[in-house]
Amino acid sequence: MEYQGYVHVYTGNGKGKTTAALGLLLRASGADMKVFLGQFLKRGEYSEHAALALLRGVTVETFGGERRVGAPLTEEDTVHARRGLERLREAASSGKWGLVIADEIFVAVHLGLLAETDVLELLEVRSPSTELVLTGRHAFPEILRRADLVTEMKELRHYFSLGVPARKGIEK
């Protein structure tokens, strides 16, 4: 019997969406599953990349440019997002990966870099044996309806509101 994969959504305004996806990645890697992590709107090295490089069977790709949070969108941002979508489509449909994570894909949709239909297509092309995780604020109603597992992170309190910047090893 072939392994049945499911679709997870981690969304909401609270902290922990990427962290939850990385926890699942760690568990999958420990079970010798091949994992593809695609991160939208990110570029360069984040603290998790150093640790992920030590894990067997984990591939990480980032799909972001020089853009800073709050800066106007550019054509380069769209090119990176489209490239990321294509890589995720390949990974999800190939049957080669046990777990595929599309980190911050809902933010890419919210910003207009991708369309809701692009995300829904990932569900259609996904190999039945591939676990697909989609993260980010602003998950749209149709994806919430179609996902097998939906977790909403709800912020009750966050030290960012006190002016604490993102800290290496904790938020970045």
**Confidence (pLDDT) at 89:** 98
Report the mean per-residue pLDDT for the chain: 93
**Confidence (pLDDT) at 170:** 81
**Alpha carbons 90 and 141: distance in angstroms, whole number:** 25
Q: What is the dihedral of CA 169, 110, 62, 67, to 10 degrees?
A: -80
Q: Are residues 148 and 171 in contact, defined by beta-carbon separation less than 8 angstroms?
A: no
Q: pLDDT tens across 42-76, in order?
A: 776 778 888 999 999 999 999 987 666 677 888 99
**Alpha carbons 98 and 57: distance in angstroms, whole number:** 10
Place of tokens 């994570």: 101
Q: pLDDT tens across 79-99, in order?
A: 999 999 999 999 999 999 999
**Confidence (pLDDT) at 68:** 65
Q: pLDDT tens across 95-118, in order?
A: 999 999 999 999 999 999 999 999
Ranges assigned E (strand) in the chain? 7-11, 35-40, 58-63, 99-103, 131-135, 149-152
**Confidence (pLDDT) at 42:** 77
**Confidence (pLDDT) at 66:** 67
Q: Are residues 64 and 40 in contact, defined by beta-carbon separation less than 8 angstroms?
A: yes
**Confidence (pLDDT) at 162:** 87
Q: pLDDT tens across 25-42, in order?
A: 999 999 999 999 999 987
Percent of the chain with pLDDT over 90: 74
**Confidence (pLDDT) at 69:** 65
Confidence of residue 172 (pLDDT cuts 50, 70, 90): confident
